[in-house]
Structure 1
């Protein structure tokens, strides 16, 4: 009787469940028959070409892509696919949260790698993942997450440069801090969620998600609180009318200003002004 045992010692870096999360899997065919415009995502995207030929635009550069090419795009990097009618691109896209590609000594925020040598393996895992997503059999989420980790390991094997997949939490915090400072400095302006997303170069839904995680409040609610704090200062230190103060703090009308002020502070602007001046008199 023969027996062969092989013990494993798997590096901790291979276990990504506590860091990376597979957000979505999609499949598409693009032959230039619809308008593809440059866009960004808050997560990393793995774009694998199953068939066809075309081009991939990353920021202001264009690269040719064809079957069995893998394009990895870091979060917040402008990109789009460009296909041709004659031989349309067929591809699968994976969106992965909390992971970012770092290419040592390259300084790039994306990469394109050919997987022609192991195309059967790549196609097998990707199509299995797509089938799991489509059928949604019990436990499909865990299966897809595990398949994602396998694909990332295969990607690492195929590249001839050192790659590291690192958490992006610090980037999210930096992004949110930048948005918070922008709101603080411009709270009296007409600011919308779309403008904040454009300022931060991320999807507006991600901005709400990230900002709320960092500060415990949405960007628009934070904007309202910043406006009310500014109004409190003006009410306490000036004799400006409520209409002037409401305009100075970015409110569209005095009634909306009064309504928002009472909701957030528990009293009307006039009552707050009287109370603040009574406190000032008592202190003297």
Structure 2
């Protein structure tokens, strides 16, 4: 399994539009060199567990209603189906080494001791949504070393590397389950309801981003008022539905610029931008360059 650059495209149901590994080996390791990508991805979630080491720069991680800063050398763990986002804090971009894996890679079948004693606690609603891994704390440092070991084993692809990857992730799971609180603080019913609403509205926007969408239209998709929609977005992910929609549309446009030969104006229209000038302005704000320059950079690798 070669290392790849990670994308954050999500399908119409709100999950990432990425196959993390294969049915036989459900894990993928990513090299994220996000120095010229602007906003890396919109808020998203996936069924898999995710473990990340920040190799350069400084990032802000938001997940499960919490926000914290992670610097180079440290990392974090994201639980299954946890709504999360990562953004650059240093201004010069950042680099990540991430491992995204399905729980069954470590847990095996649901009737195994591995699943029952070690994976179920991580998949429980009572499990922490996100764990900051600070290298100054011994067990967290061992967790970071396990992530690095899994990532480098995948990078080298030496004979038997699949055993090495699984063993390293098993060590990570062991450290997490052994040291995390048994009864962590549960989010309030209101926070849980807000997150489910956010996910439903994101699914709606993923399916209809090419159309004219207003706050009222987005709110109606989950039968709430526009003011409640705005409150929900602000309380849960710290932005507005229209700002999220702009990010989503630019992300979709960037994918088409990189992967097709369509005219820039056609891509703008396909992604919900009715005015070319507004598309160019928005794209530059989020990606740091014009759509044409972005396409050229992707094709030349510079």
Q: Same fold (TM over 0.5)?
A: no
What interval of TM-score do these two structures reach, taking the shorter chain for normalisation? 0.3 to 0.5
Computing the radius of gyration from Cα coordinates, the structure with the larger value is 1
Query: Which structure dedicates a bigger proportion of its chain to strand?
Result: 1
